[in-house]
Amino acid sequence: MASFLRSWLIVAVLSAGASGCATRGKDLVTLHYAWPEPATMQVDHTVDVRTDWSDRTTAERRFTMTLGPVDDAGQRRLSFHDVEILESKVPIFVEPLATGIIDAQGDFQGIDPLEDTPALAFLDALPLSARKKAQMTRGMAVGLEQAIRNTWNQWVGSWHGSRYKPGKQEVLSSTMQVGTGRKERKEVPSEERQRLDVGVPCSDAEPEPRCARLQVVREPVGQSDRTPGTYARVELELVMDPTTLLPYSSRVIRMDRVDWNGQGGEPDFHESVHVEQYTFVHGLMPTAGPMAAVSPRQPMPTSPK
Protein backbone atom coordinates (compact mmCIF):
# COMPACT_ATOMS: atom_id res chain seq x y z
CA MET A 1 0.00 0.00 0.00
CA ALA A 2 2.97 2.33 0.39
CA SER A 3 2.97 2.96 -3.35
CA PHE A 4 -0.29 4.92 -2.93
CA LEU A 5 1.40 7.35 -0.53
CA ARG A 6 4.55 7.75 -2.60
CA SER A 7 2.76 8.34 -5.90
CA TRP A 8 0.35 10.87 -4.43
CA LEU A 9 3.12 12.68 -2.57
CA ILE A 10 5.11 13.09 -5.79
CA VAL A 11 2.07 14.62 -7.54
CA ALA A 12 1.37 16.99 -4.64
CA VAL A 13 4.94 18.23 -4.26
CA LEU A 14 5.64 18.72 -7.96
CA SER A 15 2.41 20.62 -8.55
CA ALA A 16 2.73 22.89 -5.48
CA GLY A 17 6.46 23.57 -5.18
CA ALA A 18 7.87 27.09 -5.53
CA SER A 19 10.05 27.83 -8.55
CA GLY A 20 13.49 29.42 -8.66
CA CYS A 21 16.88 28.65 -7.18
CA ALA A 22 17.64 29.05 -3.48
CA THR A 23 20.89 30.62 -2.32
CA ARG A 24 22.90 29.44 0.68
CA GLY A 25 24.28 31.97 3.12
CA LYS A 26 27.09 31.37 5.57
CA ASP A 27 25.42 33.24 8.44
CA LEU A 28 22.36 32.41 10.45
CA VAL A 29 19.04 33.89 9.35
CA THR A 30 16.57 34.94 12.03
CA LEU A 31 12.88 35.01 11.12
CA HIS A 32 11.23 38.21 12.35
CA TYR A 33 7.54 38.98 12.83
CA ALA A 34 6.85 42.48 11.48
CA TRP A 35 3.60 42.48 9.52
CA PRO A 36 2.58 45.97 8.35
CA GLU A 37 -0.25 47.43 10.39
CA PRO A 38 -2.91 47.22 9.25
CA ALA A 39 -2.29 44.39 6.78
CA THR A 40 -4.80 43.31 4.13
CA MET A 41 -4.60 40.39 1.73
CA GLN A 42 -6.76 38.13 -0.38
CA VAL A 43 -6.43 34.46 0.52
CA ASP A 44 -7.23 31.40 -1.60
CA HIS A 45 -7.73 28.29 0.53
CA THR A 46 -7.95 24.83 -1.03
CA VAL A 47 -8.24 21.32 0.36
CA ASP A 48 -7.66 18.12 -1.59
CA VAL A 49 -8.24 14.73 0.08
CA ARG A 50 -7.51 11.38 -1.51
CA THR A 51 -8.08 7.98 0.09
CA ASP A 52 -7.97 4.38 -1.07
CA TRP A 53 -11.55 3.78 0.09
CA SER A 54 -13.52 6.70 -1.36
CA ASP A 55 -13.62 9.25 -4.16
CA ARG A 56 -11.33 12.24 -4.17
CA THR A 57 -12.71 15.21 -2.21
CA THR A 58 -11.86 18.84 -2.99
CA ALA A 59 -12.92 22.23 -1.65
CA GLU A 60 -12.01 25.85 -2.32
CA ARG A 61 -12.85 29.19 -0.79
CA ARG A 62 -11.57 32.75 -1.05
CA PHE A 63 -11.68 35.54 1.49
CA THR A 64 -10.18 38.87 2.44
CA MET A 65 -8.08 38.80 5.62
CA THR A 66 -7.08 41.84 7.65
CA LEU A 67 -4.83 42.27 10.68
CA GLY A 68 -5.13 45.38 12.82
CA PRO A 69 -5.27 48.19 13.59
CA VAL A 70 -3.92 48.09 17.15
CA ASP A 71 -6.53 48.61 19.88
CA ASP A 72 -6.09 50.37 23.24
CA ALA A 73 -4.85 47.13 24.83
CA GLY A 74 -2.13 46.69 22.20
CA GLN A 75 -3.91 43.78 20.51
CA ARG A 76 -4.63 43.24 16.84
CA ARG A 77 -7.65 41.49 15.34
CA LEU A 78 -7.15 38.92 12.59
CA SER A 79 -10.49 39.05 10.81
CA PHE A 80 -12.05 37.54 7.69
CA HIS A 81 -14.45 39.21 5.27
CA ASP A 82 -16.40 38.37 2.13
CA VAL A 83 -15.81 34.63 2.22
CA GLU A 84 -16.72 33.03 -1.09
CA ILE A 85 -17.35 29.29 -1.08
CA LEU A 86 -16.26 28.17 -4.54
CA GLU A 87 -16.46 24.45 -3.85
CA SER A 88 -17.53 22.92 -0.55
CA LYS A 89 -17.30 19.15 -0.53
CA VAL A 90 -15.39 19.40 2.78
CA PRO A 91 -17.90 20.15 5.59
CA ILE A 92 -15.51 22.34 7.58
CA PHE A 93 -15.49 24.87 4.73
CA VAL A 94 -19.01 26.01 5.55
CA GLU A 95 -18.19 26.63 9.23
CA PRO A 96 -17.63 30.24 10.36
CA LEU A 97 -14.20 31.80 10.78
CA ALA A 98 -13.58 33.30 14.20
CA THR A 99 -11.76 36.60 14.72
CA GLY A 100 -8.33 35.97 16.23
CA ILE A 101 -6.40 38.18 18.65
CA ILE A 102 -2.66 38.67 17.98
CA ASP A 103 -0.19 40.51 20.20
CA ALA A 104 2.74 42.73 19.22
CA GLN A 105 5.18 39.79 19.18
CA GLY A 106 3.04 37.81 16.74
CA ASP A 107 1.68 35.35 19.31
CA PHE A 108 -1.91 34.13 19.22
CA GLN A 109 -3.94 35.23 22.27
CA GLY A 110 -7.46 33.90 21.64
CA ILE A 111 -10.63 34.83 19.76
CA ASP A 112 -13.36 37.41 20.13
CA PRO A 113 -16.55 36.16 21.82
CA LEU A 114 -18.74 34.38 19.30
CA GLU A 115 -21.81 36.17 20.62
CA ASP A 116 -20.48 39.36 18.99
CA THR A 117 -20.24 37.79 15.54
CA PRO A 118 -22.69 36.30 13.02
CA ALA A 119 -21.01 32.92 13.53
CA LEU A 120 -23.84 31.59 15.71
CA ALA A 121 -26.73 32.86 13.63
CA PHE A 122 -27.68 29.37 12.50
CA LEU A 123 -28.15 28.22 16.11
CA ASP A 124 -30.91 30.78 16.60
CA ALA A 125 -32.97 28.98 13.97
CA LEU A 126 -32.82 25.68 15.85
CA PRO A 127 -35.32 24.69 18.56
CA LEU A 128 -32.75 24.57 21.35
CA SER A 129 -33.05 25.25 25.04
CA ALA A 130 -30.90 28.03 26.47
CA ARG A 131 -28.73 25.42 28.22
CA LYS A 132 -28.22 23.38 25.04
CA LYS A 133 -27.44 26.46 23.00
CA ALA A 134 -24.85 27.60 25.57
CA GLN A 135 -23.27 24.14 25.53
CA MET A 136 -23.06 24.11 21.73
CA THR A 137 -21.66 27.66 21.74
CA ARG A 138 -18.87 26.68 24.12
CA GLY A 139 -18.01 23.62 22.06
CA MET A 140 -17.97 25.63 18.85
CA ALA A 141 -15.79 28.31 20.43
CA VAL A 142 -13.20 25.74 21.52
CA GLY A 143 -13.10 24.19 18.05
CA LEU A 144 -12.91 27.52 16.19
CA GLU A 145 -10.22 28.87 18.50
CA GLN A 146 -8.08 25.76 18.08
CA ALA A 147 -8.49 25.90 14.30
CA ILE A 148 -7.38 29.53 13.95
CA ARG A 149 -4.61 29.05 16.52
CA ASN A 150 -3.20 26.13 14.52
CA THR A 151 -3.42 28.09 11.26
CA TRP A 152 -1.75 31.20 12.68
CA ASN A 153 1.03 29.12 14.22
CA GLN A 154 1.51 27.39 10.87
CA TRP A 155 2.04 30.80 9.22
CA VAL A 156 3.78 32.78 11.98
CA GLY A 157 3.54 31.73 15.61
CA SER A 158 5.77 28.65 15.47
CA TRP A 159 8.57 30.36 13.59
CA HIS A 160 9.14 33.96 14.70
CA GLY A 161 12.50 34.29 16.39
CA SER A 162 13.75 30.99 14.94
CA ARG A 163 17.29 30.95 13.55
CA TYR A 164 18.49 28.84 10.63
CA LYS A 165 21.59 28.31 8.58
CA PRO A 166 20.24 28.48 5.01
CA GLY A 167 20.44 25.20 3.15
CA LYS A 168 21.22 23.15 6.27
CA GLN A 169 18.76 20.61 7.61
CA GLU A 170 18.05 20.78 11.34
CA VAL A 171 16.75 17.66 13.11
CA LEU A 172 14.62 18.00 16.25
CA SER A 173 12.94 15.53 18.59
CA SER A 174 9.16 15.79 18.75
CA THR A 175 5.97 13.74 19.02
CA MET A 176 3.02 13.16 16.69
CA GLN A 177 -0.25 11.26 16.55
CA VAL A 178 -0.52 8.05 14.54
CA GLY A 179 -3.82 6.33 13.83
CA THR A 180 -4.27 2.91 15.43
CA GLY A 181 -7.82 2.25 14.21
CA ARG A 182 -10.71 3.89 12.40
CA LYS A 183 -11.01 6.56 15.11
CA GLU A 184 -8.21 5.80 17.54
CA ARG A 185 -4.85 7.60 17.69
CA LYS A 186 -1.79 7.46 19.88
CA GLU A 187 1.12 9.83 20.54
CA VAL A 188 4.50 8.49 19.42
CA PRO A 189 8.06 9.86 19.37
CA SER A 190 8.86 11.55 16.08
CA GLU A 191 11.67 13.25 14.21
CA GLU A 192 11.16 16.74 12.80
CA ARG A 193 13.45 17.89 9.97
CA GLN A 194 13.55 21.62 9.20
CA ARG A 195 15.32 23.44 6.37
CA LEU A 196 15.28 27.09 5.32
CA ASP A 197 16.27 28.18 1.81
CA VAL A 198 16.64 31.88 1.06
CA GLY A 199 16.58 33.84 -2.17
CA VAL A 200 13.48 32.16 -3.62
CA PRO A 201 10.68 33.91 -5.56
CA CYS A 202 7.77 34.98 -3.37
CA SER A 203 5.21 33.92 -5.98
CA ASP A 204 4.60 33.80 -9.70
CA ALA A 205 3.28 37.36 -9.49
CA GLU A 206 6.33 38.52 -7.48
CA PRO A 207 9.29 36.61 -8.95
CA GLU A 208 11.97 38.71 -7.25
CA PRO A 209 14.06 36.24 -5.18
CA ARG A 210 13.66 37.99 -1.82
CA CYS A 211 11.62 35.35 0.02
CA ALA A 212 12.54 32.27 2.02
CA ARG A 213 11.08 28.77 1.88
CA LEU A 214 10.79 26.83 5.13
CA GLN A 215 10.30 23.07 4.75
CA VAL A 216 9.36 20.93 7.75
CA VAL A 217 8.85 17.14 7.72
CA ARG A 218 7.69 15.15 10.74
CA GLU A 219 7.38 11.36 10.90
CA PRO A 220 7.72 8.66 13.60
CA VAL A 221 11.26 7.82 14.63
CA GLY A 222 12.73 5.07 12.45
CA GLN A 223 9.82 4.97 10.01
CA SER A 224 9.12 5.96 6.42
CA ASP A 225 6.28 5.30 3.98
CA ARG A 226 8.10 2.06 3.05
CA THR A 227 7.94 0.78 6.64
CA PRO A 228 5.24 -1.86 7.25
CA GLY A 229 2.43 -1.14 9.67
CA THR A 230 0.66 2.02 10.76
CA TYR A 231 2.34 5.26 9.70
CA ALA A 232 1.87 9.02 9.51
CA ARG A 233 3.83 11.87 7.94
CA VAL A 234 3.26 15.63 7.96
CA GLU A 235 5.00 18.08 5.62
CA LEU A 236 4.85 21.87 5.69
CA GLU A 237 6.14 24.25 3.04
CA LEU A 238 5.91 27.94 3.92
CA VAL A 239 7.08 30.66 1.52
CA MET A 240 7.39 34.03 3.28
CA ASP A 241 9.36 37.25 3.61
CA PRO A 242 11.94 36.37 6.29
CA THR A 243 12.18 40.00 7.47
CA THR A 244 8.46 40.19 8.31
CA LEU A 245 7.13 36.60 8.18
CA LEU A 246 4.47 37.86 5.79
CA PRO A 247 3.32 34.66 4.04
CA TYR A 248 2.94 34.16 0.28
CA SER A 249 1.97 30.49 0.32
CA SER A 250 1.55 27.74 2.87
CA ARG A 251 0.96 24.07 2.13
CA VAL A 252 0.53 21.13 4.52
CA ILE A 253 0.48 17.50 3.36
CA ARG A 254 -0.66 14.87 5.85
CA MET A 255 -0.33 11.16 5.03
CA ASP A 256 -1.77 8.34 7.14
CA ARG A 257 -1.76 4.54 6.99
CA VAL A 258 -4.22 3.09 9.51
CA ASP A 259 -5.19 -0.46 10.45
CA TRP A 260 -8.98 -0.46 10.44
CA ASN A 261 -8.89 -3.78 12.27
CA GLY A 262 -6.91 -2.23 15.09
CA GLN A 263 -8.54 -4.40 17.78
CA GLY A 264 -6.64 -7.47 16.61
CA GLY A 265 -6.72 -10.11 13.95
CA GLU A 266 -5.56 -9.76 10.35
CA PRO A 267 -4.51 -6.12 9.67
CA ASP A 268 -6.69 -4.12 7.27
CA PHE A 269 -4.55 -1.16 6.23
CA HIS A 270 -6.00 1.93 4.51
CA GLU A 271 -4.23 5.09 3.40
CA SER A 272 -5.13 8.72 2.93
CA VAL A 273 -3.43 11.96 1.86
CA HIS A 274 -4.75 15.39 2.87
CA VAL A 275 -3.32 18.49 1.09
CA GLU A 276 -4.22 21.97 2.36
CA GLN A 277 -2.95 25.08 0.58
CA TYR A 278 -3.17 28.82 1.31
CA THR A 279 -2.08 31.38 -1.29
CA PHE A 280 -1.83 35.07 -0.32
CA VAL A 281 -2.11 38.17 -2.52
CA HIS A 282 -1.03 41.35 -0.70
CA GLY A 283 -1.89 45.01 -0.98
CA LEU A 284 -5.67 44.74 -1.44
CA MET A 285 -8.11 47.29 -0.06
CA PRO A 286 -10.12 45.89 2.88
CA THR A 287 -13.74 45.04 2.17
CA ALA A 288 -15.79 45.01 5.35
CA GLY A 289 -18.87 42.87 5.46
CA PRO A 290 -20.21 39.51 6.66
CA MET A 291 -19.10 36.20 5.34
CA ALA A 292 -20.97 35.30 2.18
CA ALA A 293 -21.46 32.02 0.40
CA VAL A 294 -21.93 31.94 -3.35
CA SER A 295 -22.85 29.22 -5.77
CA PRO A 296 -19.91 27.03 -6.76
CA ARG A 297 -18.08 28.17 -9.88
CA GLN A 298 -15.54 26.08 -11.75
CA PRO A 299 -14.22 23.02 -9.86
CA MET A 300 -10.70 22.89 -8.53
CA PRO A 301 -7.93 21.68 -10.84
CA THR A 302 -7.37 17.94 -10.72
CA SER A 303 -4.01 18.42 -9.05
CA PRO A 304 -3.46 20.63 -5.98
CA LYS A 305 -2.04 24.05 -6.66
Percent share of the chain, pLDDT over 70:
79
Q: What's the pLDDT tens digit per position in 128-139? A: 888 887 887 788
Q: What's the pLDDT tens digit per position in 60-72? A: 999 999 999 999 8
Q: What's the pLDDT tens digit per position in 214-234? A: 999 999 999 988 888 899 999
How many CB atoms lie under 10 A from the CB of residue 141? 19
- pLDDT at 281 > cutoff 60: yes
- pLDDT at 12 > cutoff 50: no
pLDDT at position 26: 59
- pLDDT at 292 > cutoff 50: no
First-last CA distance in the chain: 25
Average pLDDT, rounded, for the chain: 82
Spans of all domains in the chain: 2-282
* CATH 3.40.50 matches 2-282: no
- pLDDT at 99 > cutoff 50: yes
Which of 97, 39, 30 is closest to 69 using CA atoms? 39
Most confident of 144-148, 175-179, 213-217, 293-297: 213-217
pLDDT at position 18: 36
Q: What is the pTM of this model?
A: 0.81
Which of 194, 161, 208 is closest to 23 using CA atoms? 208
- pLDDT at 302 > cutoff 50: no
- pLDDT at 206 > cutoff 60: yes
